[in-house]
Structure 1
């Protein structure tokens, strides 16, 4: 990971504290300040970088690791980072972690900015990367609750103590699965050997398709693989009843764990050690990419178009915008005059640099995407896109209510929890917690407690984003009786191997 690829925001790090609200220095927040000050002074800050997989349940994990009140922190707007880039919790340990006794003050910082590969490469290489500074001097506002978190103004740098990735570390091959401009090299065998990778849970990944592609269109793995590897580019090649419109792929950038799952599932990349003909179609597969900092989706090239997105939220925006771009008015205040006639949004490239995505006004586009099923709440009966079935023509929709199961319609195999558990739906990521050999002692003990909490079926069951799309790894105890545990495993625990019933 080269420092030139990082946006360290030095000016933000030097922002004047005087401009902040009193925050942690308010007498009402004395308990939170005492925890934070003590944890920082004694080096009890655990930094976990990588996939957003554990982010949604970080509050539940923190609640199981901390006793009494724990406090929630996110970046302030001044950092230029969102609350999906960084989240942190501070509290008193429920149980001991090494020589850190129960009641010891600890801070856990989770970085999801940049995706899975940031939970692999810099972790193995013990590289200093950007993080959020959780201190009483830099954090203000709120009361530390989920509804009113403290906001922190300062970005700093630190070596990650551990990482999280959507797939095992060895799958981050250098050609298409690592980040950077140009791509960073993959980990060497000796670097991989420094990581202990522990699977946390299985997560279903799905096929999102815009609704202007009728739900009567049948998809299977072979058809989607032909799209994702750039072997077909127009919709009539998928279904003869569709016009010869460009297929738009709203995918993730290289280095994303979501993209790594798609590359593995649709193209067997990088598992195929032969000719590797089925490498993923990247941004240069179509005419949209300007090779600098912009995608211009015209929709009339007669071939595949690919838009790379830095986050799952950007993928959802790409799908939404593609489906209804004709109905969105041009916003002269938001878009430069040179963009007249286009609808647009911002994302980032493989190195984190800002990229503009523009859609030709007056022309909706038929698109497929790459998303994990923790985006299921965006697949509704009235949304612009939905998760589709494979080996048939159907979809799965959800109201977002945690107690209400999703609804399947049509034919084919759907990405339901039951199908994930028994292996019928095999487009899966196995979320990996990656502990480097450099993390030892108390932090390694705390990491073990974190792993136990993160893979707990009870924790998974309590998260709206994972309740219906994730399951504990085969063999995980389930004292709650939820049944939310895998019944299949990869042969030899190798994610390049087939799933097998256990």
Structure 2
């Protein structure tokens, strides 16, 4: 990875390393020299956030913390990063010791509702109780945690991040029960980036789709050549997530819509396994708007219900599935509190189920099933939509439309630390610019765009290679995810 190479080169030239470990964090905290920042919400943004923070750090002081225990903590709910700054950020000078803690659990709503109402949340405790994982310290990659932390404590978030603007998360379909909207006038809200969202399937479904579409031969193994990436119709995706597809039904409308019996003789009985996020997720909210028109219309007949969820003006109740993940059956869905839960559902729960089981899900494109520079394979793959691949290059020019603006917000009353606010303001203003994205982790780069507001002049007049790589010429209306995506530059 680009970030790994930069960090390794810096380590080679700097001699002894001085990572900001749990013991050093405890010491700096006791001495009053540690600056701490706590951000909640939007697990789809966790790699983007982590990559930006790493850019601000002296490589020899950078450390990574995941929630969990042992040599391979999950990091599914919380992640954190520590270092000495390599330059001035906000009011903090180069050399300042900073701990940045990110809560992913619960998704985007946790970056909106508790922040707006001034309610405390659980955050991962990064201190001497954290244990070494055996991975490098200092860290060279935001995906390799040097320490596992298993405790939490309660405090106010300094800021929240959401995959869509707070107003959309106040819609009934996106609210946790009892679906009572919160006043967002207390929030200072601003766009932080544009995020490329994508549909994914487990590897067994991916291989079957490749064969069905003539991209590989009969019985051949899955082929990761980008030219052989299969496609799903948007209509099929909408139907799957709204509960209109299932295996084993009288009319056999399910996976057999896209996979013929010549590829899978049992396809008419294949269970439709859906790996989706729970209520309050910004990823799910963007999907609801994009594919179901929910909740972008006040007219019930103009939107589709969300599979596994009963929605009304006064409640938003999650309905438990009646079956389990399997190859054969009707339909099953899993509700995940973070992106990592969807990855596990697709690539482990369903991929490893007995028989040839198929699953579909949605993730931000900054996630990757095969992280660059590793031997990891998470067991799922992204698919095209109506023949268009979910790539940064397709999204930035409007060829691929599943793109939404993420926001960062803080409470104008409860965030009283001016230095923390200055740090966050600089992050919000600069993290989504092309110059910042260009030195982030190469896998993260595929899923984020620099909004049109981050560069001057028309898109057609751009000549700088870095800006052209990330600059988006498309946008929705400001803080209006339900508005159409259009070319604006």
TM range (shorter): 0.7 to 0.9
Match in the other structure for 2:483: 497
Residue 414 of structure 1: SS of its match in structure 2? coil
Aligned equivalent of 1:214, options 209, 217, 222: 209
Contact 1:167–1:430, Cα closer than 8 Å, also in 2: yes
Say yes or no: does 1:130 pair with 2:106: no
Contact 1:139–1:152, Cα closer than 8 Å, also in 2: yes
Per the normalisation by structure 2, the TM-score is: 0.72
Say yes or no: does 1:282 pair with 2:308: yes
Match in the other structure for 2:280: 255
Greater relative contact order (Cα < 8 A, sep 6+): 2
Residue 265 of structure 1: SS of its match in structure 2? helix
Query: Which consecutive residues of structure 2, in runs of 5 or more, have no partner in the other structure?
Result: 1-16, 214-230, 247-252, 262-266, 312-317, 456-463
What's the CA shift for 1:73?
4.0
Say yes or no: does 1:145 pair with 2:135: no
Please list the CA deviations of residues 279-300 of structure 1 after superposition, one character each: whole Å capped at 9, or x if unmatched. 2112789xxxx97799523555
The change in CA–CA distance for 1:282 and 1:175 in structure 2 (over 3 A counts) is farther
Match in the other structure for 1:431: 406
Say yes or no: does 1:464 pair with 2:478: no
Match in the other structure for 2:36: 45
Kindly report which structure 2 residues correspond to 1:153-302, keeping only aligned pairs within 5 A, or say none: 154-173=151-170, 175-179=172-176, 183=177, 185-188=179-182, 191-209=183-201, 210-211=205-206, 213-215=208-210, 216=212, 219-233=232-246, 234-235=253-254, 238-239=257-258, 241-242=260-261, 243-245=267-269, 246-275=271-300, 277-282=303-308, 296-298=324-326, 300-301=328-329
Contact 1:249–1:369, Cα closer than 8 Å, also in 2: yes
What's the CA shift for 1:490?
0.6
Whole-Å separation in 1 of the counterparts to 2:428 and 2:370: 28
Match in the other structure for 1:455: 432
The change in CA–CA distance for 1:479 and 1:455 in structure 2 (over 3 A counts) is farther
Query: Which consecutive residues of structure 1, in runs of 5 or more, have no partner in the other structure?
Result: 1-27, 326-358, 392-411
Kindly report which structure 2 residues correspond to 1:375-390, keeping only aligned pairs within 5 A, or say none: 375-378=367-370, 385-390=380-385
Please list the CA deviations of residues 295-344 of structure 1 after superposition, one character each: whole Å capped at 9, or x if unmatched. 5235554x43322233333323333346654xxxxxxxxxxxxxxxxxxx
Please list the CA deviations of residues 13-49 of structure 1 after superposition, one character each: whole Å capped at 9, or x if unmatched. xxxxxxxxxxxxxxx9697666654456368321111
Matched pairs, number: 408
Kindly report which structure 2 residues correspond to 1:385-396, keeping only aligned pairs within 5 A, or say none: 385-391=380-386
Per the normalisation by structure 1, the TM-score is: 0.71
Mean Cα deviation higher: 201-210 or 138-147: 138-147
Contact 1:162–1:434, Cα closer than 8 Å, also in 2: yes
Please list the CA deviations of residues 380-404 of structure 1 after superposition, one character each: whole Å capped at 9, or x if unmatched. 9x9854322222xxxxxxxxxxxxx
What's the CA shift for 1:239?
4.1
Please list the CA deviations of residues 114-153 of structure 1 after superposition, one character each: whole Å capped at 9, or x if unmatched. 2222111111111111112234x44454744346734445
Whole-Å separation in 1 of the counterparts to 2:425 and 2:96: 16
Contact 2:80–2:99, Cα closer than 8 Å, also in 1: no
Residue 347 of structure 2: SS of its match in structure 1? helix
Whole-Å separation in 2 of the counterparts to 1:324 and 1:69: 39
The change in CA–CA distance for 1:416 and 1:104 in structure 2 (over 3 A counts) is closer
Whole-Å separation in 2 of the counterparts to 1:317 and 1:177: 23
Please list the CA deviations of residues 25-80 of structure 1 after superposition, one character each: whole Å capped at 9, or x if unmatched. xxx96976666544563683211111234432445423443457533241464599
Contact 2:43–2:339, Cα closer than 8 Å, also in 1: no
Whole-Å separation in 1 of the counterparts to 2:49 and 2:328: 44
Aligned equivalent of 1:88, options 72, 81, 94: 81
Residue 345 of structure 2: SS of its match in structure 1? helix
The change in CA–CA distance for 1:385 and 1:46 in structure 2 (over 3 A counts) is closer
State the superposition RMSD in angstroms: 3.6
Whole-Å separation in 1 of the counterparts to 2:120 and 2:52: 25
